[in-house]
Amino acid sequence: MPRYAYVNGRYLPHGQAAVHIEDRGYQFADGVYEVVPVAGGRAVDEIPHLDRLERSLAELRIAMPISRRALELVSRELLRRNDLRDGLIYIQITRGVAPRNHAFPAHARPALVMTTKRMGFAGQSKFKDGVAVITVPDLRWARRDIKTINLLPNCLAKQAAAEAGAYEALQVDDEGNVTEGTSSNAWIVTRDGKLVTRHLSNDILHGVTRRTILAIATEEGVAFEERPFTVEEALGAREAFVTSATSFVTPVVEIDGGRVGGGKPGPLTRRLLAWYRDYVAGLRDSA
């Protein structure tokens, strides 16, 4: 069965899907994206993902290329055509095609591309054994709350992690505090059992998984604090983990070669992962 991509109003076989060389996404990274998890054929947390997409677009003054309702229908149709049960939907919107010039074009039409990717979330060893991460200076711009396709610092940091045999890189600000991973939000569990993740600001992406985990923690009566934490605090923490649409709740058991929580996924991390899995599977109400 061919895999389809959606490109500006057409469903095309993935291998033939293309955009113009003067698309501003290609030339300036002038665009935004979303990654929406799919479980059991259903988009998970679609509303907050599309809310964030609309917010990112508004911040960059790019118009929605089609209505939100149409976007939802296209994503259903793409799931159907690709027979996708578990994986993700990738949505990318750029300012469109125009002769290269830094200032906005007067008449470009925003370009919309959607693809899907199959992924199995069950039984991955990272959930059972946890992962190693490294730390790197955060080299990104000051508007990390916008989910732009300009991901070069993230790519460089993730490559450094890969070369170090690690799963993710935690980015660190000038004060020595962790901002977030390259494609995930970062969390610790303190010695007294409190969940900590950095507060929302322009310094981090406002993760949808982060939001859901905080809602689940509230429901389950898990105490949490939204504040910065240092690499030293993370190394001394009882547990650590990262969250994202594609990594769910992934235990972190090593930071820069130092063991966290005895080198094993912690009990609260494992509980949060189990609760989140239930949520994704529709076994628990939207928090």
Binding site for ligand PDD (CB under 6 A): 35, 180, 183-185, 205, 207-210, 243-246
Q: With respect to ligand PDD, which residue has the nearer C-beta, 177 or 243?
A: 243
The amino acid occupying position 53 is L
Minimum CB separation of residue 38 from ligand PDD in Å reads 13
Q: With respect to ligand PDD, which residue has the nearer C-beta, 149 or 264?
A: 149
**Residue 147 is among the residues annotated as catalytic for this protein:** yes
In sequence order, what are the residues at sequence separation of 6 or more whose Cβ sits closer than 8 angstroms to the Cβ of residue 73?
Answer: none
Minimum CB separation of residue 134 from ligand PDD in Å reads 16
SS3 199: coil
Cα-only R_g, the chain: 19
In contact, 39 and 121? CB cutoff 8 Å:
yes
Minimum CB separation of residue 101 from ligand PDD in Å reads 28
Minimum CB separation of residue 191 from ligand PDD in Å reads 25
Taking CA atoms, 143 is separated from 28, 38, 56, 167, 206, in Å, by: 16, 27, 10, 25, 11
Q: With respect to ligand PDD, which residue has the nearer C-beta, 82 or 182?
A: 182
In sequence order, what are the residues at sequence separation of 6 or more whose Cβ sits closer than 8 angstroms to the Cβ of residue 191?
Answer: 236, 237, 238
Minimum CB separation of residue 99 from ligand PDD in Å reads 29
Q: With respect to ligand PDD, which residue has the nearer C-beta, 95 or 147?
A: 147
Could you tell me the end-to-end alpha-carbon distance of the chain, in angstroms, rounded to an integer?
36
The amino acid occupying position 20 is H
In contact, 195 and 210? CB cutoff 8 Å:
no
Tokens 């693809």, located at residue: 115
In sequence order, what are the residues at sequence separation of 6 or more whose Cβ sits closer than 8 angstroms to the Cβ of residue 72?
Answer: 46, 50
> Mind spelling out the 3-state secondary structure of 90-113?
EEEEECCECCCCCCCCCCCCCEEE
Residues in the chain: 287
In contact, 203 and 189? CB cutoff 8 Å:
no
Minimum CB separation of residue 28 from ligand PDD in Å reads 19
Q: With respect to ligand PDD, which residue has the nearer C-beta, 82 or 154?
A: 154
List the catalytic residue out of 117, 126, 147, 158. Answer: 147
Q: With respect to ligand PDD, which residue has the nearer C-beta, 210 or 238?
A: 210
Q: What residues are annotated to the active site?
A: 147
